[in-house]
C-alpha cells in the first residue's frame, strides 16, 4: 500500500452530511460533507481518547466526537472542548485531515504529507465525463491483497481459461504482441482478440448479425489502484473501471463503475450487473488461491512472459515508489507488551505548516525502508 497518492475511498453517492467510516489501507477514515456540500476526509481517530469521529455528528461544519464532544474543523483542528470551555484549545488538539477531491463519482483523498507541488498529479481518467454512456456502479469483496485483484484486472491471458465461453476463446488463447504505452502514472495496452464464434449469450444476441467479429480490447492502469478494461463491441463500447481498495492485508473492496454506449435503458442495468458479477465470480477462486498472497517485490520472483507486459509495467512503477520510501508497512506497530499502537498516515499539515510540526500526538504509520541497489 502506497502513501502519497490520490486514493479513491468511497462512492460520492454514499456520502451525505452525516459522518461515515471507511476502512482502507489498514486505517479508519471519517468522511462527511460540510453545509455547502464539500466532501472531507479525516483520520477517524480522536486525539483525546481515540474515539471514532464517524460515530459522531455535525455541528455547523465541525465533526463532533461522540465520546466527550470535542469538535473538529475540516482542517483537523479542534475548535471546542466542552468540559473545559475556558481553556484555550491547545495546538496539539488536532487530527490528520487529507486534501479531498470529488470526481468521477468517487471521493478521493490525498493520503500523504507531501506539499501540493510535490504530489503526483490527480489522475486523468477517460470516459467518466462523457454523456454517451449509461453507468452502473457496485462493489465486490475479495479476501486477498489488493495487488492480486488489481493485476487480475489487467491480465489478458487468463480470459480464455477463466472466462472461456463468455469472452475468452480457448481455441485461440494467443495474445498478440503488444506495446505498453506509459502514462505519467500508469500505462495501457491494446490488443485485438478473437472471441469464441459459438453461442452469443443473453440479450446481446440481438445486436449480432452473423459471426462475432474480433474485439478490440484496451487494458490500462493508474497508480495506486485503478484499472480499466475497455471492449469495443459491434454494438458499442463497454468500459469497466475497477478501483481496488485495500481494506487490510487480507481484504480488498473493488468499487467498480461499468459504462456502456448501447442498451442504455434502465431495463438493461440488471443484465449489465449480472455480466460484471459473473466475471468477478469466475476470477474469485483463482485469485483467492494465488500464492504468495502478497505481490513479490522482485520482478524475477515469478516467471513472466511477453504477454504479461502490462503487469510488469505496473510492478516496475510500484518498485520505484517503494524505493522512494512510500510503502506503508502493513504490519502494525506492536508495543512492548504486544498491543497495537494507533498510527495514522501523515497529512500535509505535518510537514507543510512549521508551527504545527511538533503538534502531533499520534504517531505516523511506519514505511518500508527503501531497497538497496546491488
Ligand atoms: Fe473524542 Fe474524548 S475521545 S472527545
Ligand atoms: Co478475469
Q: Is the CB of 49 under 6 A from ligand 1?
A: yes
Which atom belonging to ligand 1 lies closest to the Cα atom of 70? 4
Which atom belonging to ligand 1 lies closest to the Cα atom of 68? 4
Which of 45, 46, 56 maximizes ligand 1 atoms within 8 Å of its Cβ, making it the mutation to test the pocket?
A: 46
Q: Give residue 270 CA to ligand 2 midpoint distance, Å.
A: 20
> What are 255's three cell numbers?
468499487
- Predicted local distance difference test score (pLDDT) of residue 218: 95
pTM given for the model: 0.94
Which atom belonging to ligand 1 lies closest to the Cα atom of 53? 1
Q: For the packed helices 309-323 and 146-154, what is the interaxial angle rounded to 10 degrees?
A: 140
- Predicted local distance difference test score (pLDDT) of residue 374: 56
Which ligand has the nearest atom to the CA of 80?
Answer: 1
Q: Give residue 158 CA to ligand 2 midpoint distance, Å.
A: 7
Which of 45, 57, 68 maximizes ligand 1 atoms within 8 Å of its Cβ, making it the mutation to test the pocket?
A: 68
Instruction: Determine the Cα–Cα distance for residues 364 and 345; give it in Å rounded to an integer.
Output: 6
Which residues have a Cβ under 8 Å from the Cβ of 8 and sit 6 or more positions away? 104, 106, 107, 108, 225, 226, 243, 245, 255
- Predicted local distance difference test score (pLDDT) of residue 334: 67
- The closest of 328, 340, 325, 338 to 366, measured between CA atoms, is 328
Q: Where are the domains of the chain?
A: 1-122+329-374, 134-320
Per-residue pLDDT of the chain (374 residues; tens, 9 = 90+): 999 999 999 999 999 999 999 999 999 999 999 999 999 999 999 999 999 999 999 999 999 999 999 999 999 999 999 999 999 999 999 999 999 999 999 999 999 999 999 999 999 999 999 999 999 999 999 999 999 999 999 998 888 888 876 677 788 888 889 999 999 899 999 998 887 766 666 676 666 655 678 889 999 999 999 999 999 988 899 999 999 999 998 999 999 999 999 999 999 999 999 999 999 999 999 999 999 988 988 888 989 988 899 999 999 999 999 999 999 986 666 666 777 788 899 999 999 888 888 889 999 998 988 776 65
Q: Is the CB of 65 under 6 A from ligand 1?
A: yes
Which ligand has the nearest atom to the CA of 50?
Answer: 1
- Predicted local distance difference test score (pLDDT) of residue 147: 96
Q: Give residue 176 CA to ligand 2 midpoint distance, Å.
A: 18
Which ligand has the nearest atom to the CA of 30?
Answer: 1
Q: Give residue 55 CA to ligand 1 midpoint distance, Å.
A: 11
Beta bridge partners of 232: 216, 237
Q: Is the CB of 167 under 6 A from ligand 1?
A: no
Which ligand has the nearest atom to the CA of 276?
Answer: 2
Q: Is the CB of 197 under 6 A from ligand 1?
A: no
Instruction: Determine the Cα–Cα distance for residues 53 and 32; give it in Å rounded to an integer.
Output: 10
Q: Is the CB of 68 under 6 A from ligand 1?
A: yes
CATH architecture of 1-122+329-374: 3-layer Sandwich (2.102)
Which of 19, 54, 70, 362 maximizes ligand 1 atoms within 8 Å of its Cβ, making it the mutation to test the pocket?
A: 70
What class is the 134-320 domain?
alpha beta
Which atom belonging to ligand 1 lies closest to the Cα atom of 65? 1
Q: Give residue 254 CA to ligand 1 midpoint distance, Å.
A: 32
39-43 and 27-33 strand pairing = antiparallel
Q: Give residue 76 CA to ligand 1 midpoint distance, Å.
A: 14
Examine domains 1-122+329-374 and 134-320 and report if their fold is the same: no
Per residue in 212-242, is it b (16+ CB within 10 Å) or e — as a string? beebebbbbbbbbbbbbbbbbbeebbbbbbb
Q: Is the CB of 56 under 6 A from ligand 1?
A: no
- Predicted local distance difference test score (pLDDT) of residue 226: 98
Q: Are 88 and 96 in contact (CB under 8 A)?
A: no
Q: Give residue 153 CA to ligand 2 midpoint distance, Å.
A: 6
Which atom belonging to ligand 1 lies closest to the Cα atom of 50? 3
Residue 207 neighbours by CB distance under 10 Å: 13
Amino acid at each position: 500500500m502506497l502513501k502519497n497518492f490520490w486514493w479513491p475511498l468511497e462512492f460520492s453517492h454514499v456520502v451525505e452530511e452525516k459522518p461515515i467510516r471507511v476502512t482502507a489501507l489498514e486505517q479508519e477514515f471519517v468522511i462527511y460533507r460540510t453545509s455547502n456540500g464539500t466532501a472531507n476526509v479525516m483520520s477517524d481517530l480522536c486525539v483525546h481518547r481515540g474515539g471514532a469521529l464517524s460515530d459522531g455528528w455535525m455541528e455547523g461544519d465541525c465533526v463532533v466526537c461522540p465520546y466527550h464532544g470535542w469538535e473538529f474543523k475540516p482542517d483537523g483542528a479542534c475548535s471546542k472542548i466542552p468540559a473545559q470551555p475556558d481553556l484555550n484549545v491547545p495546538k496539539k488538539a488536532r487530527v490528520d485531515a487529507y486534501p479531498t477531491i470529488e470526481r468521477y463519482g468517487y471521493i478521493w483523498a490525498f493520503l500523504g504529507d507531501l506539499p501540493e507541488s510535490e504530489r503526483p498529479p490527480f489522475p486523468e481518467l477517460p470516459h467518466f465525463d462523457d454523456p454517451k454512456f449509461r453507468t452502473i456502479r457496485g462493489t465486490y469483496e475479495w479476501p486477498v491483497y489488493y495487488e492480486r485483484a488489481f493485476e487480475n484486472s489487467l491480465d489478458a491471458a487468463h480470459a480464455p481459461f477463466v472466462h472461456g465461453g463468455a469472452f475468452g476463446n480457448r481455441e485461440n488463447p494467443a495474445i498478440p504482441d503488444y506495446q505498453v504505452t506509459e502514462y505519467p502514472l500508469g500505462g495501457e495496452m491494446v490488443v485485438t482478440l478473437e472471441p469464441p464464434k459459438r453461442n452469443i449469450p443473453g440479450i446481446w444476441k440481438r445486436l449480432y448479425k452473423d459471426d462475432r467479429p474480433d474485439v478490440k480490447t484496451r487494458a490500462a492502469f493508474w497508480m495506486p489502484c485503478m484499472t480499466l478494461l475497455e471492449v469495443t463491441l459491434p454494438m458499442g463500447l463497454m468500459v469497466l473501471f475497477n478501483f481496488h481498495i485495500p481494506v487490510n492485508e487480507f481484504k480488498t473492496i473493488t468499487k467498480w463503475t461499468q459504462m456502456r454506449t448501447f442498451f442504455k435503458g434502465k431495463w438493461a442495468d440488471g443484465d449489465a450487473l449480472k455480466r460484471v458479477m459473473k466475471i468477478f465470480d469466475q476470477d474469485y477462486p483463482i485469485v483467492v488461491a494465488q500464492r504468495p498472497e502478497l505481490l513479490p517485490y522482485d520482478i524475477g520472483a515469478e516467471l513472466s512472459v511477453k504477454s504479461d507486459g502490462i503487469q510488469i509495467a505496473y510492478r516496475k512503477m510500484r518498485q520505484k515508489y517503494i524505493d522512494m520510501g512510500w510503502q506503508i508497512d502493513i504490519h502494525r506497530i506492536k508495543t512492548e507488551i504486544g498491543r497495537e499502537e494507533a498510527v495514522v498516515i501523515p497529512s500535509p499539515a505535518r510537514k507543510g505548516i512549521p508551527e504545527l510540526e511538533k503538534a502531533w500526538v499520534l504517531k505516523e504509520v511506519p514505511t518500508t525502508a527503501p531497497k538497496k541497489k546491488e
